[in-house]
Amino acid sequence: MTSLRPKNTQKTLVARKGGRWEIEERALIPALREGEVMIRVMAIALNPSDVKQLDLTPIEGAVCGCDLSGIVTDMSKTNISKSLRIGDHVSSFVFGCNPNRPDNGAFSEYVVVRSEFCIRLPKSIDFAEGSSFGVGLVTCGLALRSLKLINDSGEATKNNFGEMVLVYGGSTATGTLAIQLLHQLGYNPVATSSPHNFSLLREYGATAVFDYNNTACGVEIRNYTKNHLNRVLDCIGNNQSTTISYEAIGTLGGRYTSVAPFPGRLVLRRKQVHPDWILGYTVFGDDVRFDDTYKKTADPKDGIFTSIWILKMEKLLASGCIKSHPIQLREDGLRGIVRDADLLRHQKVSGHKLVYVMQDY
């Protein structure tokens, strides 16, 4: 099928100094590179990482945003690693505000993405819901691999069916996906959240939920798991979450993986616990540096793993085994994202993900 790409310029949302976004009315559409497809963006999901990146290291004039869904409109002529077609409905993700590719980000009308990082959407999932999957599913995959719960092929590595795994911050978009994926892999997820989200997490499959505002939270989890907990996925990544997670892990130790860097002083006290943190941007093959602590060296294995993991996620979505985090549709497209940045910056979003429809469909 011939390309559906209609024009050379587009409207985007770019970073400006002072931690703000600005509408760029006539930005150039990024050029396709080998192995990439172009997507007409139909919906965008806003992530805390979008705002964090803007606050830490705004790349002046760079197009921002990571999570999106849309329609494949064009593709490169070489190295397309997936059987995509013009017109396919997909969910995907990009490295927005990337200093190595500042003209490409999800907050735009058109974006180019690696073909193997596209998730074909079944008819049961619309663009709004579909935009919420990319970053969360990839983050979960990298984290579960870091915890040694899955191998490089995305298969469960432990044969202890029903073993408990703690998802700290279970009511985040990554948390509800992690809970479901742990169920699919045969593990038994327990979680933390604020009490008003307890019922949500039980609906998504958490067998027990604990209030992380309770000073005894770590001890309660340790008692509930009978001192056997040895795996924690921390979806919050702050001093409190690290401290409680370490308190919850049993005497024999285990593995702790966070979505953000952690102070060494918080993890050195228990040598029998192996700490790690992951950053989804590493799958694109570029080194990432937001500041002196928020930095990661690219690992080619991350991209290879993610291409395999995406295929598995596509099958789970098609079969209805995974559902999205609750979404809240917001108005005004790109202008709405500018308006809502402070909601994430000041942690005013809980139990749902903000989604912006770009075009009528």
E-strand stretches of 218-272: 231-234, 254-258
User: In DSSP terms, which residues pair with 15 in a beta bridge?
Assistant: 21
Phi and psi for 338 in degrees, rounded to 5?
A: -60, -45
Neighbours of 28 (CB within 10 A): 11
Distances (CA, A) of 294 to 57, 237, 238: 10, 12, 13
Are the CB atoms for 105 and 22 separated by under 8 Å?
no
Tell me whether domains 9-133+324-357 and 137-282 share a fold.
no
Neighbours of 174 (CB within 10 A): 25
Domain locations in the chain as residue ranges: 9-133+324-357, 137-282
Architecture of 9-133+324-357 per CATH? Alpha-Beta Complex (3.90)
Kindly list the averaged pLDDT for each block of 10 residues, start to end, along the chain of length 361.
69 93 95 96 96 86 97 89 90 95 97 97 97 98 97 85 94 98 96 98 98 98 98 97 97 97 85 95 90 86 97 97 97 95 92 90 46
Please, what sign has the CA dihedral across residues 38, 53, 131, 143? positive
Nearest to 173 by CA among 54, 56, 93, 70: 93
Tell me the C-alpha distance between 209 and 149, whole Å.
Answer: 21
> Which superfamily does CATH assign the domain made up of 137-282 to?
NAD(P)-binding Rossmann-like Domain (3.40.50.720)
Distances (CA, A) of 96 to 58, 171, 331, 357: 11, 24, 21, 18
Secondary structure (3-state) at 92: strand
Tell me the C-alpha distance between 30 and 32, whole Å.
Answer: 7
Secondary structure (3-state) at 52: helix
pLDDT at site 235: 98
Instruction: Output b/e per residue, 306-334; b: 16+ Cβ within 10 A.
Output: bbebbebbbebbbeeebbbbbbeebeebb
Length of the chain: 361
